[in-house]
Amino acid sequence: MIVVMRSDATEADINAIQERLAEYHLKGHLSSGEERTIIGVVGASIPPTLREELEFFTGVAQTVRVSSPYKLVSREFHPQDTVVEICGNKIGGNHPCIVIAGPCSVESEEQIMATAHAVREAGATMLRGGAFKPRSSPYAFRGLGEHGLQLLAKAREETGLPIVTEVMTPTDVEMVAYYADILQIGARNMQNYQLLEEVGRTNKAVLLKRGLSGTIEEWLLSAEYIIAQGNPNVILCERGIRTFETATRNTMDLNAVALVKRRSHLPVIADPSHATGKWYLVPPLSLASLAAGADGIIIEVHPDPDRARSDGGQSLNFENFAALMPRLRAIAGVLDRGIASEGCTGCGCHRSQGTRDA
């Protein structure tokens, strides 16, 4: 249920509602817009008489039942776009689109430093790189672990690019959050509810990828798990879903990008690398993603894709990445957004962090 306040409602009116909700062990999430304030009500059981009861409170314009199973992520609860801020870069709303680029996996100091400098030079907004890799085969390269995170932190220190990296288990959240600017929840973990709750208890932004067979509703409910723990900084990422089609690694669902922007206030980005699985399909689908309304893209870039330890076939080399950037800027220009290419704008994140105490 949402409670829509009148434009002349006072703070005392709002507090009176919050107090009544607390008596019922319900939570009221406040969303203050320019024209009106909305209180979104969430809780395990909302008494059937509550709506009518609140209609009579001073300052209330109307109460509305929310039919979708997700609440905090819905536009009904929060009509304005959520803008997630990372090191001065604003993601969402009508802010410039972001480009997150980097290798699938951090493989060595040389590899991540070279990539960080190349993508920075071409105008990327952030650096990606996996240190904990979910691989289909237990014999495949599974990442450098904490050493990989230290290399990412070093790359950030040198280039000022904020870093995005995956966390796979609840017990690693604290460690990964120490190094990362954005915690990535991989497609295979979209429904790992303990992990979602654990990242929901941090103050780091979360990039929530859509599951391989996740419906849009399931995906938004997973975001709800994170926000319900108190962390509103969730960025959704469409990375392709499994369909009958085998010609590409996955099927990129751009419907989802446009639909989720309508149903939710959260920023949405797209990952054409995992969605297509083929490097030569990454540029056209990157452009299409921005045109469809994505707030940015995340793409894999490697110094020598043929020798990559994971996902080489879908990684752009430096030259192809540099050639893509002006085309992305052109599309983002038509959309009146542009591409954010500041890296860290001075929040100090790129200072040396040293190593974490064990």
Contact residues toward ligand PEP (CB under 6 A) are 104, 130, 134, 186-188, 209, 239, 274
* Count of chain residues binding Mn ion (CB under 5 A): 2
| Residue closer to Mn ion (CB basis): 67 or 136 | 136
| Residue closer to Mn ion (CB basis): 104 or 205 | 104
What are the phi and psi torsion angles at 354 (to 5°)?
Answer: 65, -165
**How far apart are alpha carbons 226 and 195 in whole angstroms?**
9
Q: What residue 186 binds from ligand PEP, Mn ion, none (CB within 5 to 8 A, per partner kind)? A: ligand PEP
| Residue closer to ligand PEP (CB basis): 248 or 345 | 248
Is 352 buried (19+), middle (13-18) or exposed (0-12) by CB count in 10 A? exposed
Q: What residue 134 binds from ligand PEP, Mn ion, none (CB within 5 to 8 A, per partner kind)? A: ligand PEP
Site for Mn ion in 99-128 (CB under 5 A): 104
| Residue closer to ligand PEP (CB basis): 70 or 132 | 132
**How far apart are alpha carbons 234 and 251 in whole angstroms?**
23
**Helix (H/G/I), strand (E/B), else coil: 287:** helix
**How far apart are alpha carbons 330 and 325 in whole angstroms?**
9
Instruction: State the nearest-atom distance from the C-beta of 69 to Mn ion, in Å.
Output: 30
Q: What residue 148 binds from Mn ion, ligand PEP, none (CB within 5 to 8 A, per partner kind)? A: none
Contact yes or no for 227/200 (Cβ under 8 A)? yes
Q: What residue 236 binds from ligand PEP, Mn ion, none (CB within 5 to 8 A, per partner kind)? A: none
Q: Distance of CA 143 to CAs 130, 133, 170, 196, Å?
A: 7, 5, 17, 21
DSSP conformation class of 43: -
Instruction: State the nearest-atom distance from the C-beta of 187 to ligand PEP, in Å.
Output: 4
**How far apart are alpha carbons 91 and 222 in whole angstroms?**
20
Q: In the set 311, 316, 325, 343, which binds Mn ion (CB under 5 A)? A: 311
Instruction: State the nearest-atom distance from the C-beta of 242 to ligand PEP, in Å.
Output: 11
Residues 6+ away with beta carbon under 8 Å from 348? none
Q: Tell me which long-range contacts 336-340 makes (C-beta under 8 A, separation of at least 24).
A: 336/94, 337/94, 337/95, 337/96, 337/97, 337/290, 338/96, 338/97, 339/96, 339/97, 339/98, 339/99, 339/123, 339/125, 340/89, 340/90, 340/95, 340/96, 340/97, 340/98, 340/99, 340/125
Query: Quick one: which H or E segment has residue 318?
Result: helix 318-334
Instruction: State the nearest-atom distance from the C-beta of 313 to ligand PEP, in Å.
Output: 13
Residue nearest to ligand PEP (CB): 186
| Residue closer to ligand PEP (CB basis): 100 or 266 | 100
Instruction: State the nearest-atom distance from the C-beta of 211 to ligand PEP, in Å.
Output: 9
| Residue closer to ligand PEP (CB basis): 209 or 337 | 209
Q: What residue 187 binds from ligand PEP, Mn ion, none (CB within 5 to 8 A, per partner kind)? A: ligand PEP
Instruction: State the nearest-atom distance from the C-beta of 311 to Mn ion, in Å.
Output: 4
Q: Which two tokens stand for residue 167?
A: 């966390």
**How far apart are alpha carbons 354 and 35 in whole angstroms?**
46
Q: What is the helix, strand, coil percentage profile of the chain, to 5?
A: 35, 20, 45
Instruction: State the nearest-atom distance from the C-beta of 221 to Mn ion, in Å.
Output: 25
- Where does this chain touch Mn ion (CB under 5 A) — which range of 93-101, 201-209, 303-311, 326-334? 303-311
| Residue closer to ligand PEP (CB basis): 82 or 310 | 310
List residues bridging with 4 in a β-sheet: 38, 62
| Residue closer to Mn ion (CB basis): 104 or 127 | 104
Q: What residue 93 binds from ligand PEP, Mn ion, none (CB within 5 to 8 A, per partner kind)? A: none
**How far apart are alpha carbons 13 and 20 in whole angstroms?**
11
Q: Which two tokens stand for residue 251?
A: 């099927």
| Residue closer to Mn ion (CB basis): 140 or 258 | 140
Q: What residue 72 binds from ligand PEP, Mn ion, none (CB within 5 to 8 A, per partner kind)? A: none
For the window 85-104, what string marks contact with Mn ion as x by the rule CB under 5 A? -------------------x
Residue nearest to Mn ion (CB): 104
